[in-house]
Amino acid sequence: MTEDKPLAEPVAKKTAYVTWGPAVAIAFTLVVYFFTQILASIVLLAYAKIRGWDQATITSWTNTTVVQFAYVLLIEAATIGLVWWFVKRLKSSVRAIGLVKPKLRDIGYAFVGFGIYLPSLIVATLLITHFGPHINLDQQQQLGFESANNVRQLALVFMSLVVLPPLAEEILVRGFLYSGLKKKLPLWWAVVITSGIFAIAHLQIGSGAPLLWSAAIDTFILSLVLIYLREKTGSLWASIGLHMIKNLVAFSALFLFK
């Protein structure tokens, strides 16, 4: 008489490991940040040149809502694709950067995060206004899309501001960058460096306009809360949700209720 064998052996759950460190995390993030913008510009300019347009026509065309949406779409799609590809090249998985199955609780955590972020921003703004009155906090961020004036165009603006950037920026910054920094650095160093890089990216360096300190302070504080949600939930989805809520508030103020 033989013993019955189990029909199948239990499958071991694969664990995703971060296989890159701080240097690779920072270098790749900076390369992706600049490369995707250059790539999107080249693609759109090449299309215009193929059409044989002169400079005046190209300038007018690039100021349209559809083209500005295409520019954002190209940047964010390239960012997500490059992160996905590079993580695979590093013999890891997107689970290592927090892209796991979303849970219903992530929605609640996103709103809790907004309840932390907004009062923190207000307090920080009051403190900076009092102790650093020379810092200009009234300067407005240049988002583009000034020509959007109908439902279809506003839908493209919504995608460009509320949906696409939170997805790509969280995958790149709180996903790839933060995970690599945290692998070998103390937690608070990883938090500060991640948030600092994210804030610097919003200073509008190279735009010809004065440094946008209001956006840098805003995004630094936002990043602290986004990282807290990443640590609290073990995934990126609550962070993506909070980022979308924050951008939705800005979109509503600038385009719906202006």
pLDDT digit string (tens) for 45-61? 999 999 999 999 999 99
The SS3 of residue 196 is helix
Q: Which amino acid is at 88?
A: K
Q: What is the pLDDT of residue 11?
A: 41
Q: Which residue has the higher pLDDT, 135 or 174?
A: 174
Chain length of the chain:
258
99/93 Cα distance (integer angstroms): 9
Predicted confidence (pLDDT) per residue in 11-40, tens digit: 444 567 999 999 999 999 999 999 999 999
Both ends of the chain: CA-CA distance in Å? Answer: 82
> What are the residues whose beta carbons fall under 8 Å from the beta carbon of 164, sequence distance 6 or more?
72, 73, 76
Task: Name which of 111, 240, 231 is nearest 167 in CA terms.
Answer: 240
User: How much is the pLDDT for 66?
Assistant: 95
- Here the tokens at position 24 are 């690779």
Residue type, 13: K
Identify which has the larger pLDDT, 10 or 246. 246
**Cα separation, 46 vs 142, whole angstroms:** 25
